[in-house]
Structure 1
Amino acid sequence: MTIQKRVKHAALFSASALALAVASASHAVDFEVGDTKASVYGYAKLDIIYDVDADMGDLITHSKIALDGEESQDGHFNMHAYQSRIGFQTTTPVSGSDLVTRIEGDFYGKNNNFRLRHAYGSWDGILAGQTWTNFYGFVAGTPTIDFRGPPGVANQARQPQLRYTAGNFSMSIEDPDTLGGSEDADLGTTEKPDDIAKSQLPDVTARYTETSGPFKYSASAVLRQLEYDAEGSTNTPPANVDDDSAFGWGMALEAALDVSEALTLRAGVTHGDGLGGYMNVSPQTSPAYLDTTTGDLETLESTGGTIGASLKAGPGAINASYNVATVDLDDEEIDGNDTFETAYLNYIWSPAERISYGIETSWASRETKGGDDGDAVRIQGMVMYSF
């Protein structure tokens, strides 16, 4: 990064320290039907967005950032309410343990239609359905108004799974194609057939979370099998392409420390080979690519990290974080983005119960395998009314 860019970023975030912004408390409309306690909850949220540089979309999308030297239309205003959501949850005592069910959705689906977020039941430590991947521990994430969230941490997304939890330890088998991605997403060649990737085994995750006084940490792992088989393909496979498989894995460490009643520090690191989308905002969401010269399935190594802080101030908190996600393409036969960075500074506050306001300044950048890079600045506000 040039000295001029560093000065630009320092000036940006010094000015942003004067901005204000907020976290919403959890609310619900509760009622009882027999032995069942039910809750309807959700919120309406308006996002107000101004992109100083390239238009990065409803969520920060690094691939839309113009590289240095490329022509770009600068200055874009946008408003939307797609994050607004509604959920329904029940709790029923069954044979000495609570049976919990939950269904929730928002409007970030295709063409901004209603999208299923959670749909699961849990009883006696066994969870079945769709919810947060067990690979993410909810420890290192510093609050942001941008709904995409920070690059480099384990992905805080949801997918179908069967999970068992005992105390602080949990393990699961999860859908192999939803979040982590499969090698058919981008095999690095325009000649690839579209239907040779396959999933023969589920992804397996394990996580341990612990709290000791003001310190909280989480350690998690994921194991994956990646495979392709050209037999039975409706397309003609490239030369030397038959079948191959590869082993994928990933680890995530997260920590948070309450330095005082007002200040919380957070940090996390994610690393793996064949990790794909299990790392949030990865420059390459595909875990592997097909080398059509050798016919081998080659996994992609990725590393990410985050560091952040939250400081209570007045009716809310100031949140700041720096986040980076990288994929090692140096020895690979494919091109594309290999580094995404994002820095956030926001203030999120609640002037009254069920009401949250926020304002955020963010800086995002991307760099390609060839060394070309570009960056962009976004200013975003929010108004959220919860029920």
Structure 2
Amino acid sequence: MNNHKKFRLIGFCSVSALALVVQGTAQAYTLEVGDTTADIYGYAKLDLIYDVDADLGNTVNRNAILLDDQAGPEGHTTLHAYQSRLGFTTSTPAGGSELKTTIEGDFFGGGGGSFRLRHAYGEWSGLLGGQTWSNFGGFLGMNPTIDFTPQPGLGNAGRQAQLRYTVEGFSVALEDPENLGGSPLADATKSQLPDLTLRYQGGVDGFDYGASAMLRRLQYDTTGTTDSGKDSAFGWGLALEASARVAEGVTLRGSLTHGDGIGGYLEGTPAAPAYLDPATGELETISATGGTLGITAAAGPGNVTLGYGVARADLDEAVAAGAVADSANEKFQAVHLNYIWSPIRNVTYGIEAGYHSRQVVDGRDGDALRLQGMVMYRF
């Protein structure tokens, strides 16, 4: 499959990795204008959600999970079509290579209901510029889910502005420092340098693997205010992921992510990348670790997937310094069991049970069960 078709296939599927289970070759409306080929693609998707416990929103918001000592209404039904998507790609021969562009959006802006930009980038001769998946994250360790929120613990593949160069399996990128990774403080955050990400991906005989690294500089500066002060710290992150086809129709996948000051580069992170020590005025990084594990097996016209993900932040020093409350989130976990199938080409159905939990620093925890179905029509 050439790179153009790979990008098109990824575009059909959400960050929840539905690409792993959609059957058949993706279709699109293709136009030929001179040397340029343009494809228009998208889908309409209905999500049918029942939250047995707390209302977790249009897509799972783990902060909404009630702790065991908290009371709240239970049983909530939600139907929405916000994940529905529209995009187009172009491909033009240029200078001995292909000039490719992609623009794509959906309706999950503002948490649901507003059109938002997902991808807007061009690529020529290995150089990519624009907004697309972060170079730090990948999809090999991502378990397919119907819910739009991926399982916690992955190297985050969220979309952000970047300049990336790729040669064979290696890629390096300069990425937006104020978006995906998150800011150490709500106010007075300062960004002088872009985040640096590196990734290598390869495979052999049904085994695919990826390794990523991230380096960033975190800063705050309150010069000119009554609380004048400034400091900086370096953050870093590492991510490993793999998938293996161990038998006909059976795929195992997993990932491990760790970093100090990693922030949102860890999918589902419970904490900010750093905190300000009130006693010393210094910016201190927060370490966090996560991982995923899952199995997908072919069954009838579709696939069954069982997956697990966890993300945990080390907040002991931040709490001891008085910078973080002992009621702050410390760990998120999720278990998904789903069946996704296609009775005919370009029509996909799915059912899923998702078990989600959160734990705060003082040891209290809570959980929530979400039942979800979907109907998706692609073009």
* TM-score, length basis structure 1: 0.89
- Confirm or deny that 1:266 pairs with 2:265: no
Count of residues paired in the alignment:
351
Aligned-partner residue type, residue 342 of structure 1: A
Cα distance between partner residues in 2 of 1:50 and 1:261: 34
1:138 Cα offset (Å):
1.5
Q: Contact 2:275–2:318 at 8 Å: present in 1 too?
A: no
What is the deviation of 1:24? 6.1
- Is residue 160 from structure 1 mapped to residue 161 from structure 2 by the alignment? yes
* Number of the residue aligned with 2:356: 364
Deviations 1:242-282 (Å, cap 9, x if unpaired)? 11100100000001110012100001000000011111111
Summarize the alignment of residues 223-238 of structure 1 with structure 2, pairs less than 5 Å apart.
223-233=215-225, 236-237=226-227
Structure 1 counterpart of 2:170, which letter? Answer: F
Of 221, 229, 235 in structure 2, the residue corresponding to residue 248 of structure 1 is: 235
How far is the alpha carbon of 1:183 from its aligned partner? Answer: 1.3
TM-superposition CA deviations, 1:177-196 (whole Å, max 9, x none): 110011123xxxxxxxx2x2
In structure 2, how many angstroms separate the alpha carbons of the residues matched to 1:61 and 1:143?
A: 18
Once residues 105 and 23 of structure 2 are traced to their aligned partners in structure 1, the CA distance between those partners, rounded to angstroms, is: 18
Distance 1:69 1:199 in 2: 40
Q: Is the 8 A contact 1:134 1:170 kept in 2?
A: yes
1:214-225 equivalences under 5 Å are 214-225=206-217
Aligned-residue CA RMSD in angstroms? 1.1
CA deviation after TM superposition for structure 1 residue 292, in Å: 2.1
Quick check: 1:383 aligned with 2:375? Answer: yes
Q: Aligned-pair distance for 1:229?
A: 1.2
Residues 1:347 and 2:346 are matched in the alignment:
no
Take 1:162 and 1:184, find their aligned partners in 2: how far apart are those partners?
Answer: 26
Q: Would the aligned equivalents of 1:121 and 1:128 in 2 still touch at CA under 8 Å?
A: yes
Structure 1 residue 143 displacement after superposition:
0.5
CA contact (8 A) 1:228 1:245 kept: yes
Q: Structure 1 vs Structure 2: percent identity of aligned residues?
A: 55
Shift of 1:289: 1.3
Indicate the residue corresponding to 1:212 in structure 2.
Answer: 204
Counterpart contact for 1:39–1:90, Cα < 8 Å: yes
Is residue 2:27 matched to residue 1:27? yes
Task: Provide the residue aligned with 2:278 in structure 1.
Answer: 292
Asked if structure 1 preserves the Cα contact closer than 8 Å seen for 2:297 and 2:305, the reply is yes
Call closer, same or farther: CA 1:24–1:42 in 2, change over 3 Å. farther
Aligned to 2:10: none
Quick check: 1:127–1:162 contact (8 Å CA) kept in 2? yes
Shift of 1:214: 1.2
CA contact (8 A) 1:50 1:379 kept: yes
Task: Verify the 8 A CA contact 2:47 2:80 in the aligned structure 1.
Answer: yes
Q: Which runs of 5+ in 2 are unaligned?
A: 1-20
1:329 corresponds to which residue?
315
The Cα of 1:145 is off from its aligned counterpart by 0.2
Distance 1:355 1:178 in 2: 34
How has the CA–CA distance of structure 1 residues 167 and 131 changed in structure 2, closer, same or farther, with 3 Å as cutoff? same
Structure 1: runs of 5+ lacking an equivalent: 1-21, 186-193
Paired position in structure 2 for 1:311: 297
In the superposition, the TM-score normalised over structure 2's length comes to 0.91
Evaluate the alpha carbon distance shift between residue 384 and residue 24 of structure 1 in structure 2; reply closer, same or farther with a 3 A threshold: farther
* Deviations 1:51-85 (CA, angstroms, capped at 9, x unpaired): 00111001111110110021121100000000001
2:108 partner SS: coil
In structure 2, C-alpha distance between the alignment counterparts of 1:211 and 1:348, rounded to whole Å: 26
* Greater RCO structure (CA 8 Å; 6+ sep): 1
Rounded to whole Å, the distance in 2 between the matches of 1:142 and 1:41 is 24
Measure the CA separation in 2 of the matches of 1:169 and 1:101.
Answer: 21
Is the CA contact (8 Å cut-off) linking 2:277 and 2:318 kept in structure 1? no
Q: Tell whether 2:306 aligns with 1:320.
A: yes
Q: What is the correspondence of 1:79-158 to structure 2 with a 5 Å cutoff?
A: 79-110=79-110, 112-158=113-159
Equivalent AA in structure 1 for residue 22 of structure 2: A
